[in-house]
Amino acid sequence: MQLTDLETPALVIDLDRVDSNVTAMAELARQSGVALRPHVKTHKMPELATRQMKAGVVGFTCATLAEAEMVVEVGCDDVLVAFPLVGAIKLRRLAALRERVRVTVSLDSVEVAEGLAALGACTPVEVLVEVDTGLGRLGRPPGAPTVALVEAVARLKGVQVVGLLTHAGHAYRVTDPDARLELVRAEVETLVATRDGCARHGIELGTISVGSTPTVRAELIMEGVTEVRPGTYIFNDTTMVDLGVATEDECGASVLATVVGRPSGDRFVIDAGTKSLTSDGVGRPGWVRVASHPELVMSFLSEEHGVGYVTRGSQGPAVGDRLRCIPSHVCPVANLFDLAYGVRGDTVVATLPVVARGH
């Protein structure tokens, strides 16, 4: 089957680029002596998790229990659920997973730890305490506030605090490489200082877990980091290109779309809108790129329509032409499709079910 045989919109995965991205990151981690625990929320596909395992990872980071269950099914025996688990249903699913593999859970409150403690009567639940190093999402500030939380959690029977975790998501807003390096340095230094503060209170923590695709290369060489959790690197997207951490040739996922309208000489319409490409990044110049066609500039998306314009000096596409669109934020794109198509060149060589989507 060829790309021309696919119904559009379709999620297309360039397996050559994916293999290259996966191998390169695994080699960087090996050279640094830091554990690589990639985030599977970017792809949610068993086949791609298997490729990452073969390249050499210590385990996976998961945002949902469905993702954790998926990677366990393909043979992963060490899972981090990087999300606080609240409620009886989730705790039952966690208990079932713990009967099969090692599972660590991140949290930022005593209340979540108390729920987990009920599962740890025989073997304590290993937890990472999340620290807010600038994103302003989960976590207490580094230093004394986090040390106090670690002490409170460590007093609970049934849980064991094994380390600290943070996500420098605010780095996505930093376009200057030097400024991003300083952000990473501050992130790691405050985590190490917080770890040392815990040690002074008699709590030894062995894990410092960090990571995002924009920051991971700097984090890998920072003293104190024990594991990194990049996710987007397997595909990359236009955000990574604009941040200078990837090129268009390293973008391994695109949405194949068909031109369905040329309502004016400078405008074209494709059959891929927010329900295929997401609305993430709208308003940023070049937030969606038409691969290999810099003369075609996307303007806006509605639910099923993508509207772009043709720059001067170009005739533009005809109705029926196929375009491959690189999204701004690739992670939610996989969650919009039941099935992806793995290609080498223009030949479809694999169908890739997005098993953990929609959960």
**Model confidence pLDDT, tens digit, residues 62-120:** 999 999 999 999 999 999 999 999 999 999 999 999 999 999 999 999 999 999 999 98
CA proximity to 236, closest of 228, 223, 246 = 246
pLDDT value at residue 334: 96
C-alpha span between 68 and 82 (Å, rounded)? 10
- Average confidence (pLDDT) over 158-163: 98
**What are the backbone angles phi and psi of residue 215, rounded to the nearest 5°?**
-105, -10
Superfamily of domain 16-231: Alanine racemase (3.20.20.10)
With pLDDT > 90 as the criterion, what percentage of the chain qualifies?
Answer: 96
With pLDDT > 70 as the criterion, what percentage of the chain qualifies?
Answer: 100
Question: Domain limits of the chain?
Answer: 3-9+246-353, 16-231
Q: Which of helix, strand or coil describes residue 138?
A: coil
CB of 105 within 8 A of CB of 81?
A: yes
pLDDT value at residue 245: 96
Is 228 a residue whose pLDDT tops 90? yes
Counting every residue written for the chain, the total comes to 359
pLDDT value at residue 313: 81
CB of 332 within 8 A of CB of 278?
A: yes
CATH code of domain 3-9+246-353: 2.40.37.20
* Residue written as token pair 């194949």: 256
The contacts of residue 33 (CB under 8 Å, 6+ apart) are: none
Segment 180-198, tens digit of pLDDT? 999 999 999 999 999 999 9
**What are the backbone angles phi and psi of residue 288, rounded to the nearest 5°?**
-115, 130
Question: Within 13 Å and on the Cβ side, how many CA atoms surround 213?
Answer: 28
Q: Can you read off the two tokens belonging to residue 197?
A: 């503060």
Average pLDDT over the chain reads 97
pLDDT value at residue 134: 95
N-terminal to C-terminal alpha carbon distance within the chain? 30
CA proximity to 286, closest of 322, 332, 240 = 240
C-alpha span between 13 and 211 (Å, rounded)? 24
pLDDT value at residue 207: 98
pLDDT value at residue 314: 84
Amino acid at 358: G
- Average confidence (pLDDT) over 310-335: 95
Torsion of Cα atoms, 20 then 17 then 352 then 59, to 10° = 30
CA distances from 1 to 11, 104, 255, 258 (A): 15, 42, 17, 17
Is 212 a residue whose pLDDT tops 80? yes
CB of 198 within 8 A of CB of 144?
A: no
pLDDT value at residue 284: 87
**What are the backbone angles phi and psi of residue 248, rounded to the nearest 5°?**
-60, -35
Is 359 a residue whose pLDDT tops 80? no
